[in-house]
Amino acid sequence: MNYHAIRAIYIFEMSRTMRTLTQSIIAPVISTALYFIVFGAAIGAHMAQPDGIAYGAFIVPGLIMLSILTQSISNASFGIYFPKYLGTIYELLSAPVSVFEIVLGYVGAAATKSIILGLIILATARLFVTFSIDSPLWMLAFLVLTSITFSLFGFIIGIWAEGFERLSLIPTLIVTPLTFLGGSFYSLSMLPPFWQKVTLLNPVAYLVSGFRWSFFGVSDIHPGVSLGMTFVFMAVCLGIVGWMFKTGYRLKK
């Protein structure tokens, strides 16, 4: 294991966060705070309590998950795309560094940023709503697994993208709508039976449900199923990344 290479990639990617602090941390926190003000304080007082939970507290896991998914993808995709764009990817590919070490450095850094962001948003949420966390260890487990999984997904997007506009295409047109439709702002039990079944086709619904269970002990989907689906998606992403490096897909001209 080339720990020096992993450390170099990891530190370089983490240092990029400080250069883009406004975009990486401040902007997502402010955006999420606005959600808490509008939905939690203003509208939440007039909303029914899903599963007996105050609406402002109910949306906390969903809002954290929304930020985690989008930022994990963004951090990882930009991290690997810039070496492609600048041409330094060839130096990395020719260096005595394995695929596992490259992925560990880039994805590890992207996941770390997302975890830090999630914890900051969690602390910020307490300024607006009152809530408790029933299972802190499971909450951290879902936070870490989701950050790693979607950082892998973002890594794939970064390799696939052939231009800057494509980096935001999938997060904007697919991931964000799926997050909104995955129970971030409502309980799936509030939907008609048909739409409850349709929502089960949305992979983000499993993540939001499992994460919410760690907070309040209630979920629309069994937490074991949510955890299993997370591991399945992670395995699929790992398989795609391995295939991309093995075939040189959009890595070698």
Q: pLDDT digit of tens for each residue in the chain (253 aa)? A: 888 889 999 999 998 877 777 777 888 888 888 887 777 666 666 666 777 888 888 999 999 999 999 999 999 999 999 898 888 888 888 888 899 999 999 999 999 999 999 999 999 988 888 888 999 999 999 999 999 999 999 999 999 998 888 888 888 888 889 998 998 888 898 889 999 999 999 999 999 999 999 999 999 999 999 999 999 999 999 999 999 998 888 886 5
Phi, psi dihedrals of residue 134, rounded to the nearest 5°: -65, -40
Give alpha helix (H) positions in the chain: 3-19, 21, 27-35, 55-58, 60-86, 89-94, 99-125, 136-160, 164-167, 169-170, 176-180, 193-199, 203-216, 223-247
Cβ contacts of 53 within 8 Å, gap of 6 or more: 216, 218
Among 26, 69, 72, 77, CA closest to 176: 69
- In whole angstroms, what is the distance from residue 210 CA to residue 226 CA? 5
Question: Does the pTM of the predicted model rise above 0.95?
Answer: no
Place of tokens 């260890």: 137
pLDDT at 44: 61
- In whole angstroms, what is the distance from residue 184 CA to residue 193 CA? 18
Please state at what angle helix 60-86 crosses helix 203-216, rounded to 10 degrees.
Answer: 130
pLDDT at 22: 76
